[in-house]
Chain A
C-alpha cells in the first residue's frame, strides 16, 4: 500500500511516498533520477517498516524553487519533512547524491538520525574518479536535452531537465571535504559500494578508516569491530548498485539488528532468507 502526497517545507512542495508501516526509513535518491530508483528495495524493506521515498528539490515530481541545489538545503528539507510528518527521528539511507544529503542530515541534525546507510557516496569531492567529475562538469542545458528521449522523461513528465542539469552541474562543481564532520557521526552506519563504483577504491578505504575500519580482524567475539560496517558488492557499478538482488536483505538485517549487536550483525546467526 502506497500513499503519496506533497508537503510544504522550506518553501518547497516536496513530493513523498509512504510504503508500509512501522519504524520510519527515509530513502534518498541519487542525482537526475528520483525515488523510483529504490523500487527493488521497497517490498522487503516495507515488510516491517514505514519506508518514505522523497523526490528532492528539482527532481522527479518536486518542482524547483529559487534556491541553489545544495547538500545542506536538501538535508534541511528532509529534517523539515520529518517534522511535518511528526517524526522525531528515522533511519536514513541515501544513494549517490542522496548519500551526500544523508551525511549532511547526520551532520546538521544528528538527533534525527537513528541508523545511517550511505551508498556509493564519497565524503569529499575528489573521492570520485576523475572521469565522474568530468561527467558532472558537463551537466548543462545542452546535455539536459538528451534526457528527453529517455524512460526517465516519461516517468517524470513534469521535470524541468534544463534547470535540474544546470543546478546539479553547479552543485557538483563545488569542492567539499566533510571528513572531519563525518568522523564525528555517532549513528550506527553501514556504507555500501560497488566493486567498480564511481567512487575511488582508495577513498572507500579512507571513508571506512574514519570509523576505525580496515584496521583489525573483529576476533571470535567480534570485540574488535569498527564503529561502521562496509559492504562492497561484486560485479556492480555506481549505476546499478541499488539493484543488487541481495541488497534489500542486507539493509534489512542491518536495520533490524538491535543496538548492542549492530556492529556485528552478520556475526550473529542469520535467519534463512530464502
Chain B
C-alpha cells in the first residue's frame, strides 16, 4: 500500500469493508478524533497535534473522506459510528474518549448511543441531535442542495489530492447530501445517555443556540450550580463571536475547554 503521508504516522485498518486511513500520535489516554463533512485529518488543522501533546490521538478518516476508500453503502450516522466501533476493535481499543466536530460530533454521539461501552467521555463540537435543530436558513437549504453546488468548493481540490479515487468527489457529495436529509431525531437516546458530554458550539453556529441548550438540558445540565451542589457530569461551552467553521480553528480555547473536562477538574473560585 502506498502511503501518501510522508511522516509514517498513517496506517490503514480494514473496517466493515472500508480501507480506513488513520494516524496515531502522542502519548497518554486514547482519544479518537472525528472530522467534519468534506474534511480530513489535514484540514482539521492544529487541534490534532495540540491534543497529541497529552493524549494518544487516533485521528480517523471516515467513509469516502481523505484517504479512506468509499464503498457501495450510504453514508449514515449509524454506519459511520459502527465503523468507528469496528475500527476500535481492529486496533484493540476497548474504550476511548472521543472528540468529534460537526459530522464527526454526530458520529461520536451515535457511537455513544450504539456502543456506550466504547466511549469514556464525548466532546460534541458544533453538532445537533435533531434535524430540527439546524438554523432555519440551513434547514431551508437542505432540500435545494445539488451536487453541482459543491463541485467548486475549496475542499473539492483537497479531495482530489488525497482520495484513492480522485474522481469520486461527486459520488461523495451525493452521499453527504443524503446524509443531511437523514431524519435524525435522537432526543430520547440523548436523554438516556450515561456518557459525560462536553458540548461546544459557536455563539452563531449551524445549530441554534436554543437547540444546543436543549441538548445540555437532556444531559442533566441547565441547572444552577453553587459551592455545595455537584455540577452535572456534562458541560456546555459557547465560544463568543464564533461561526460554525471558525469553531475548529480556535485551538487554545478548545484545549482550555477540553482538558479540564477530560481530567474532571473544576477551576477554583474567589470564594473557595
Contacts and interface: CB of A to CB of B under 8 A. Distances in A.
A134 to B, nearest CB: 11
B137 interface: yes
Contacts of A240: 266-272
Contacts of B250: 266, 270
A133 to B, nearest CB: 11
A230 B200 CA distance: 13
A234 B223 contact: no
A123 to B, nearest CB: 17
A266 B135 CA distance: 20
Contacts of A201: 213, 216-217, 222
Interface residues of A, number: 63
Given A196-B223, A237-B225, A266-B239, A218 B204 contact: yes
Interface string A242-274: 111110011000100000001111110110111
Interface stretch (A55-63, A81-89, A208-216): A208-216
Contacts of B223: 196
Interface stretch (B67-75, B90-98, B106-114, B255-263): B255-263
A274 B261 CA distance: 19
Interface string B231-249: 1100111111111111001
Given A194-B225, A205-B209, A220-B245, A242 B270 contact: yes
B209 A208 contact: yes
Interface centre among B204, B205, B236, B271 (most CB of A within 10 A): B204
B221 interface: yes
A132 interface: yes
A238 B268 CA distance: 12
Contact of B242 (A196, A220, A267): A267
Interface residues of B, number: 54
B226 A244 contact: no
A229 B209 CA distance: 12
A20 interface: no
B137 A216 contact: yes
B39 to A, nearest CB: 14
A235 B261 CA distance: 8
Contacts of B260: 234-235
Given A201-B217, A235-B266, A239-B271, A274 B252 contact: yes
A181 B262 CA distance: 41
B145 to A, nearest CB: 16
A9 interface: no
A220 B244 CA distance: 8
A204 B270 CA distance: 23
B235 A235 contact: yes
B140 to A, nearest CB: 11
B224 A196 contact: yes
Given A235-B261, A264-B246, A266-B239, 11 more contacts: A195-B231, A201-B222, A213-B203, A217-B204, A218-B204, A224-B204, A234-B257, A238-B224, A242-B270, A266-B202, A266-B242
Q: Which 7 A-B pairs have the closest CB atoms?
A: A240-B269, A196-B225, A218-B243, A234-B235, A232-B238, A218-B204, A229-B240
Interface of B: 135-138, 198, 200, 202-206, 208-210, 213, 216-217, 221-227, 231-232, 235-246, 249-250, 252-253, 256-257, 260-261, 265-272
5 contacts: A214-B210, A224-B204, A230-B209, A234-B236, A239-B272
